[in-house]
Structure formats: structure tokens, C-alpha cells
Amino acid sequence: MQTARVLRGKVKDARTIELDEPIGEIEPELEVIVRAISPAKRAPLCETLSPDEWKKMFHAWLNSHDPNTPVLPDEALHRESIYEDR
């Protein structure tokens, strides 16, 4: 009976994979399927920063914008301006 095991490791070079744990007993021939593991998703800043740190970063982001950027007129936000066929 064939059994499958999932072993994790890192590619060392084009022909070598360094496993995190030993293989143990295996048959003389085996099939290896390699797939990349997506990097762990980082938590959003709002979950990792204190309220004061978040406020500081938010204000730094706000201040990074050009204050002379023209503001859209109110008419630009009306449905009729967004959807031409209405």
C-alpha cells in the first residue's frame, strides 16, 4: 500500500531540497511533487499598531499628499456625472 507524506523544506540548489525533518523509511523509488508555499499573510497595520502609532502613521500618510491638489466639485460625485447613460 502506498502512503503519502507531506514534508516541508527549502530549495538549496537546483537539485537539492533541504527538509525540515528526516524522511525516515522510504521505498527505493519515490515521486516528489514540489509546490511553493505562499508567504504568511501579514496582519493589517490596524491590528498590529497601538492606537497612537496608527494615528501617527495615518497623519504621516495624510501629510504625504500635495495640499495643492484640486478638489473635485460636488457635481462630479452625482450619479448623473458618474454614469453617462442615466
Q: What is the mean pLDDT of each run of 10 residues along the chain (86 residues)?
A: 73 88 78 78 78 86 88 86 72
29 lies in a domain? no
Tally of domains within the chain:
1
Full residue range of the structural domain in which residue 71 is found:
45-82
What was the pLDDT predicted at 38?
75
The predicted structure's pLDDT at residue 86: 56
Give the pLDDT score at 9: 86
pLDDT of 3: 66
In a domain, 7, yes or no: no
Distance of alpha carbon 86 from alpha carbon 78, whole angstroms? 11
| Residue 69, domain member (yes or no) | yes
Q: Is residue 66 part of a domain?
A: yes
CA 50/CA 48 separation, integer angstroms: 7
Task: Classify 14 as helix, strand or coil.
Answer: coil
pLDDT at 23: 80
